[in-house]
Amino acid sequence: MDIYSLILQAVQKYIRDNYEFELDANALQIQKTRKEFEGDLTLVVFPMLRITRKSPEQTGEEIGTYLADSCAEIDTFNVIKGFLNLSISQSFWLQKLQDITTDGDHGSRSASKDAPVYVVEYSSPNTNKPLHLGHIRNNLIGYSISEILKANGFNVQKVNLVNDRGIHICKSMLAWQKWGNQETPESTGKKGDHLVGDYYVRFDQEYKSQVQGLVRDGVPEEQAGKEAPLILEAQEMLRRWEARDPEVTSLWKQMNSWVYEGFDSTYERLGVSFDKIYYESDTYKLGRSIVMEGLEKGILYRKEDGSIWADLTGEGLDQKLLLRSDGTSVYMTQDLGTAHQRFAEFNFYTHVYVVGNEQNYHFQVLASILKKLGYAWAERLVHLSYGMVELPSGKMKSREGTVVDADDLMDEMSDTAKSMSDELGKLDGFSKEERSDIFTTVGLGALKYFILKVDPKKNMTFDPVESVDFNGHTGPFIQYTYARIRSVLRKAAENGLIPGVENRQDLNPKEIDLIKRIYFFPEIVSDAGQDLNPSVIANYCYELAKEFNQFYHDYSIMNAEGENIKKFRLLLSEVVVRTIATGMGLLGIDVPERM
């Protein structure tokens, strides 16, 4: 039984025996004691005053005395106004350390076949450009959330919706057709997604030049933007694609194949994966049929130009275009189809869309349209709206070619890790291959941790150099702590020392604090799952590593007085290192055995 349940049941028994009242455990609140007060857990006594008809202080003293006398797990207590602060006994913490030692899944639980299904959509790239820093944050959040939900016992489907159709795709295709000279990834030595992205940038450059030319000729700028020959050609190419023109379809398949190969390489390097990949070129058709059905039922309406709309003014929104006058689809069309298809496939409990906060309105509209069309499961759609990620130099713009490419950034992170390690002399004596592997592990760990330690809902600035500080609030700091503990455990094994608890009493405060932190790890995982927030686990890992380093600084392990103390501290170290590995694993971060 966990300590919360133990205390609640004891309080219920006391109230029942002394006041003949069946107290609902849900009416009681237990929280961790604030740092400025003595104690481990705090019981809020205010809900019981109507039963005891006594002051908060009297009620707290009364219940505290009972708990200390009747529960071996409660050592001492103190009362501050309406708050009963309870100190848990050392024997309880020692027993829990032993229990955790034998629990191979501390902090996670496996999903049963009938566990609720979470569908988590992330990445969702466009096939007109390579993945960039913004995509990295998206992928890292999505993958980590998926792993955290699995650890909470849910069945999880990690899905990716590839935006492989639309005007933006046609822009890259048209530019390659005009200026590509039959270039291929093989002929240029470029990754396919990079090559296609170059032509997206080229289109924008040529298009702007045309617009400026029209403006110089006296055409109003807004009109020039609509009448520039390139944009008209791109729109015509989109119409031909939706009509399945063989020439356009062939070019589309060829260029997309280049991009997919590039994406797969980046995903593998980043360490993210998907259970299923959807393509907008398929799902928009189902979306279109849903729209037409809604039109037939009078839920949607058609304008004079032939376009189809949803009127959401009654829901406090506006009117939303679903099919253009020429019959072509918009993003909302395919999102309707995709949501419908996924519910049919998975009967999901919750569908999480990991998408930037610039799309907040889009997902409000999506849920509203689905509800309007009669789909009750629209209530189960959740938009995990994450903030933008910038560099110290400012925002990035794909069409202007000023984005930070994901592959280039991962290269830079490995190089930064190498520079920092060389400067500190941390990898002296390692082979070239070992050093290269560690640079990759540390560099990617720095990148992932720096992004995931920030609440997803907040905007953030990514600083590559700061992220690799071995002494800062960083991934490398945690990785180095892990490797340090592993080194101690290897040395102990070489000396025949077996970790364990043997006649250990009088734990010091730092030992108790480490055990407490580890004990509450499942609660951290649960909180992170409920809030869809990996930063809860990221910051927990940092605090645990920092606390262990302080313990390691103040107390010797291998040179401790007495075999029982050595073995106990080795066991404590073993559980700490296992918890760090589990926590970092939920973030998708590897931890090196040696550094």
Q: What is the CATH number of the domain that holds 365?
A: 3.40.50.620
In a domain, 95, yes or no: no
Core vs surface per residue 404-417: b (16+ CB within 10 A) or e: bbbbebbebbbebb
> Where do runs of H (alpha helix) occur along 311-431?
331-346, 360-372, 406-424
Phi, psi angles (nearest 5°) of residue 526: -65, -45
The per-residue pLDDT of the chain, averaged, comes to 93
Length of the chain: 595
Nearest Cα neighbor of 457 from 401, 389, 506 is 389
The string of pLDDT tens digits covering residues 177-234 is: 999 999 999 999 999 999 999 999 999 999 999 999 999 999 999 999 999 999 999 9
376 vs 355: CA distance, rounded Å: 22
Q: 161 with 264, same domain?
A: yes
Which amino acid, residue 117?
A: V
Per-residue confidence (pLDDT) for residue 113, from 0 to 100: 87
The string of pLDDT tens digits covering residues 106-115 is: 998 888 889 9
In a domain, 592, yes or no: no
37-46, 126-135, 419-428: the lowest-pLDDT one: 419-428
- Position 400 pLDDT exceeds 50: no
Per-residue confidence (pLDDT) for residue 396, from 0 to 100: 43
Q: How confident is the model at residue 401 (pLDDT cuts 50, 70, 90)?
A: very low
In a domain, 591, yes or no: no
The string of pLDDT tens digits covering residues 427-448 is: 777 888 888 899 999 999 999 9
| Mean pLDDT, residues 242-250 taken together | 95
**Sequence-separated (6 or more) residues with CB below 8 Å from residue 481:** 545, 548, 549, 580
Map residue 130 onto helix, strand or coil: coil
In a domain, 93, yes or no: no
Nearest Cα neighbor of 384 from 148, 152, 574 is 148
Q: 564 with 495, same domain?
A: yes
Phi, psi angles (nearest 5°) of residue 74: -100, 120
Per-residue confidence (pLDDT) for residue 398, from 0 to 100: 42
Q: 470 with 379, same domain?
A: no
Q: 245 with 134, same domain?
A: yes
Q: How confident is the model at residue 402 (pLDDT cuts 50, 70, 90)?
A: low
Which amino acid, residue 297?
A: K
Residue 19: which H helix or E strand, with range? helix 3-19
> Taking the CB of residue 102, how many other CB atoms lie within 10 A of it?
7
Per-residue confidence (pLDDT) for residue 393, from 0 to 100: 67
Q: 342 with 261, same domain?
A: yes
- Position 329 pLDDT exceeds 60: yes
97-101, 183-187, 292-296, 393-397: the lowest-pLDDT one: 393-397
The string of pLDDT tens digits covering residues 344-378 is: 999 999 999 999 999 999 999 999 999 999 999 99
Residue position matching structure tokens 């020692």: 94
| Boundary-marking domain end, from 335, 355, 390 | 390
In a domain, 593, yes or no: no
Residue 155: which H helix or E strand, with range? strand 155-162
| Mean pLDDT, residues 57-74 taken together | 97
- Position 311 pLDDT exceeds 80: yes
CATH number at residue 45: 3.30.1360.70
| Boundary-marking domain end, from 62, 88, 114 | 88
> Taking the CB of residue 101, how many other CB atoms lie within 10 A of it?
17
The string of pLDDT tens digits covering residues 493-529 is: 999 999 988 777 789 999 999 999 999 999 999 999 9
Q: What is the CA radius of gyration of the chain?
A: 29
Who wins on pLDDT, 170 or 110? Answer: 170
Q: 237 with 130, same domain?
A: yes
Which amino acid, residue 90?
A: Q
In a domain, 447, yes or no: yes
Per-residue confidence (pLDDT) for residue 91, from 0 to 100: 92
Q: 535 with 567, same domain?
A: yes
| Mean pLDDT, residues 452-468 taken together | 93
> Where do runs of H (alpha helix) occur along 90-157?
90-102, 133-151
The string of pLDDT tens digits covering residues 15-37 is: 999 999 999 989 899 999 999 99
Cβ 25 vs Cβ 68: under 8 Å: no
| Mean pLDDT, residues 258-277 taken together | 97
Please work out, in degrees rounded to the nearest 5, the angle formed at the alpha carbon of residue 477 by the alpha carbons of 472 and 481: 140
| Mean pLDDT, residues 582-591 taken together | 98
**Cα Dmax for the chain:** 92
- Count of domains for the chain: 3
Tell me what percent of the residues of the chain surpass a pLDDT of 90: 83
Host domain of residue 79 = 3-88
In a domain, 152, yes or no: yes
Q: 355 with 485, same domain?
A: no
- Per-residue DSSP letter, 319: E
Q: 447 with 573, same domain?
A: yes
Per-residue confidence (pLDDT) for residue 424, from 0 to 100: 67
Per-residue confidence (pLDDT) for residue 515, from 0 to 100: 97
- Position 316 pLDDT exceeds 60: yes
In a domain, 401, yes or no: no
Strands 308-311 and 319-323: antiparallel
CATH number at residue 453: 1.10.730.10
Per-residue confidence (pLDDT) for residue 508, from 0 to 100: 93
Per-residue confidence (pLDDT) for residue 145, from 0 to 100: 98
51 vs 553: CA distance, rounded Å: 50
Q: 315 with 435, same domain?
A: no
Q: 354 with 475, same domain?
A: no
Q: 264 with 367, same domain?
A: yes
383-387, 473-477, 558-562: the lowest-pLDDT one: 558-562
